[in-house]
Structure 1
């Protein structure tokens, strides 16, 4: 049976009856079919969300919303194994990674439950003003209907990053997952239904970006847009938001550098560089895909990276011991292979760059390393979003920073050195929203997440993520019993 759309607390068929084939990237076979929602379905979902926001949900306290968020978290944790296995078939990532993602999604709902409770204490907080005849307070009100558009690389986790703070703030929402990985978003809708989330508060519309996604971004009753994905689509979302002056947050692409000085511990560098680019098949917006290494250590480091890359176990994400699964889709696979062919003309292919032997089906690709990559190369400048590492060498700290910051992206950056003063100095000069010292890719849900330049607008996670879905309202009260008499002045 084709899963339906979740609108206004009920499971409804797509208005035009279209479907989406969900493909297992390890086998290239269709294993599920979903409804393809269109603009008509988005309109119904937004109408339901707007009505729900004007109802009792819009008047709930943070404590009341926290109960719902905790119930969702408990259900996700309880169903972790099944959700992770579904994510593996949907996305291709190894099961161990998927299990971690699902646990993080549950943690995210619990974290925002705590923030929702804390929000109650902040309501009506006093703001000091320089005239004691007035008392000014601030209340935090929900931003309104939120349109949430999430990517395919972390399907449930990226949904949690947006759904949890939206609910904590008291918003209602329409979630549009990627057409490549829609299944766990539908499971989240079921979990919300079972957690007694009121009808219309959470709506999930599966569909294609150029139809359902475009309508969600342009709908006049959507007051907040939160999008994670590519720069071109982010530009389209921001353009649609500008027409109605919607609040918008964008988490877009990256081409993040990892700068390695020759005093760094070689084996630690190998571990963090490998993790930074090959985790999740390199399909990570913050992947440290540009290795900028000091010449004194470059030869030994490249040799060790090639050696370890060739040891990585590739296979179906459901198989034990697999570290690198398939890419998510045929289109993504072809895109990455296209960049590899470009890279062969621009730099030296040191390792990988092909389908691994023995794999006749599935979107599998060997971990790939290019060396001697010039700063004007396309593989250096453009986001590949696959297991492809580009290496360049430097002689001075200033040269390293020029290479690191010479990008239109600014999501993340890493530096590895034993000299902590130098590490702090370089970290301060990175043009990036997230900086790592002597590591790459650790991500916690409490600090802010987001980038500079073309990597996005605004910040997610932590209390910054909650504020994305709130509108601060100033209330100023005149306390003096006497008239102000402004018309008598002068």
Structure 2
């Protein structure tokens, strides 16, 4: 493969991992239009690669290839599928250094976070290696004599994965691992900002021995994303779509899938509340909140967006949080001393700046941060904490997706729960208290698909991941539930002629 020339040398240990073409039916190809688009380093605003700009006209070839591959791959034994996933997993871990480098330049996240993402992502390949051999049917006692009732599980068919830019390796592997374990084939559309990591995964899947057409990757621009995604959703051979992204887009995709009644998994917006009570361990709460909020510069769907602090410890908690926040070192992700990198897109900086100004106009006090950072032309913003927050501020109702944290005071548990639930979203909620009765009440009363109880980390391969309300439906990861998203259940009823 010809080397791509740019202003940035990735200096990969294995240059073969760098892939800048689409991967369809086991071939590295260009878009039919011949058009390509640039990939930009958020830490310097410099081009470092380009990719084919696939469009709606390219979709049918990819889906047809995946359908043809499915006819073969669906017959692989569970052990064979598990063996392939195990090889894929081993290759991902073997090449984690190069994967991390590509991830840093695509997303801007610090190198240490890039390694963390790869380890988390590989937990899905490892988990579903085991799940592949644990897909089981059932038998049921019949109410009518001489009857036997039983079920089998079978793979759905061709699936589509539409993934965002904030955790591009995790989002591809969380979907693809379940699909491949189940016996499905997949067409993945990465975000325009982060196609290279997905293409590297396609290369490693090929090296692991997956047959051509089983896993396909179609990079595209933001301009072509709606039409390409619609073509995938409406293609009659695509049997399931899994999307991670905004609620607005999720509703559009749901409408696209409705006519053909496609199976759909939606992991959508967050606006997650974080509750701290008077009896909480404040060090524990702060140490959980800092990485939860400022990991990848606050660009995560499950990040804490609204922090509600009981009035008795409000000032103490705010000062402790500000002290820890000031220790964050902002810089280019490839610098090993960096603990928070740039935002991935320039619009993200503008949104945070706008929310800060709105908060100040509505009585908010900037305790630390609050400003853009001019550094190497990158998309940087200071880690920011605002006190005296109120429901009139934009930050109370809009998901920030940036390094801005607003502290809202409250008096009672009932008041805090009401405020926490006062959103159309329901992805994750977090609460910190040492009152066990309150823990159980909050677990039952907070309206979210995942609840962190004295914990800021609800994500694990063995834990079902997904939200309620406008945060979507369906589960990814976890025992049984995730792989069932890629399976159909077929019921058999047998009537015997004689009795015994």
Question: Residue 34 in 1 paired to residue 47 in 2?
Answer: no
CA distance in 2, matches of 1:341, 1:41: 44
User: Offset of 1:351 from its aligned partner?
Assistant: 2.1
- Counterpart mapping for 1:142-181 below 5 A: 142-181=155-194
CA distance in 1, matches of 2:361, 2:94: 50
Question: Residue 252 in 1 paired to residue 268 in 2?
Answer: yes
- Give the aligned partner of residue 361 of structure 2: 345
- Give the aligned partner of residue 142 of structure 2: 129
Question: Residue 457 in 1 paired to residue 473 in 2?
Answer: yes
1:352-377 Cα deviation digits (max 9, x unpaired): 12123x62510111011122222243
1:34-63 Cα deviation digits (max 9, x unpaired): 111111211110011111112x21111211
SS at match of 1:474: strand
1:312–1:147 distance in 2 versus 1, CA, 3 Å: same
2:109 to 93, 112, 116: 93
SS at match of 1:289: strand
2:40 to 15, 19, 23: 23
CA distance in 1, matches of 2:228, 2:35: 12
2:195 to 177, 182, 188: 182
User: Offset of 1:450 from its aligned partner?
Assistant: 0.4
- Give the aligned partner of residue 102 of structure 1: 118
CA distance in 2, matches of 1:360, 1:118: 51
Which has the larger displacement, 283-292 or 213-222?
A: 213-222
CA distance in 2, matches of 1:396, 1:110: 44
CA distance in 2, matches of 1:465, 1:41: 29
2:254 to 235, 238, 243: 238
Question: Residue 468 in 1 paired to residue 478 in 2?
Answer: no
Question: Residue 387 in 1 paired to residue 399 in 2?
Answer: no
CA distance in 1, matches of 2:401, 2:141: 48
SS at match of 1:369: strand
- Give the aligned partner of residue 208 of structure 2: 195
Contact 2:306 2:395 in 1 (8 A): no
Question: Residue 433 in 1 paired to residue 449 in 2?
Answer: yes
Question: Residue 11 in 1 paired to residue 11 in 2?
Answer: no
SS at match of 1:234: helix
- Give the aligned partner of residue 407 of structure 1: 423
- Give the aligned partner of residue 280 of structure 2: 264
- Give the aligned partner of residue 275 of structure 1: 291
TM-score after normalising by structure 2: 0.93
SS at match of 1:313: coil
1:434-482 Cα deviation digits (max 9, x unpaired): 0111121242111111001111111111221101100111111112349
TM-score after normalising by structure 1: 0.95
SS at match of 1:408: coil
Consecutive unaligned residues in structure 1, runs of 5 or more: 483-490
1:12-31 Cα deviation digits (max 9, x unpaired): 11111121211000000000
CA distance in 2, matches of 1:170, 1:107: 19
Question: Residue 81 in 1 paired to residue 97 in 2?
Answer: yes
Contact 1:72 1:106 in 2 (8 A): no
Question: How many residues get paired?
Answer: 477
CA distance in 2, matches of 1:132, 1:156: 53
- Give the aligned partner of residue 485 of structure 1: none
SS at match of 1:385: coil
Contact 1:315 1:326 in 2 (8 A): yes
1:204 to 210, 217, 238: 217
- Provide the aligned C-alpha RMSD in A: 1.4
2:62 to 34, 45, 55: 45
Contact 1:417 1:423 in 2 (8 A): yes
User: Offset of 1:88 from its aligned partner?
Assistant: 0.4
Which has the larger displacement, 373-382 or 190-199?
A: 373-382
Contact 2:360 2:366 in 1 (8 A): yes
CA distance in 1, matches of 2:61, 2:141: 44
CA distance in 2, matches of 1:270, 1:106: 28
- Give the aligned partner of residue 488 of structure 1: none
CA distance in 1, matches of 2:76, 2:164: 30
CA distance in 1, matches of 2:290, 2:211: 45
CA distance in 2, matches of 1:94, 1:323: 6
Which has the larger displacement, 207-216 or 228-237?
A: 207-216
Contact 1:126 1:136 in 2 (8 A): yes
User: Offset of 1:106 from its aligned partner?
Assistant: 1.9
1:376-410 Cα deviation digits (max 9, x unpaired): 43211111111111211111111111111111111
Contact 2:353 2:372 in 1 (8 A): no
Contact 1:129 1:135 in 2 (8 A): yes
Q: Which runs of 4+ in 1 moved over 4 A?
A: none
Question: Residue 334 in 1 paired to residue 354 in 2?
Answer: no
SS at match of 1:436: strand
SS at match of 2:186: strand
User: Offset of 1:333 from its aligned partner?
Assistant: 2.4
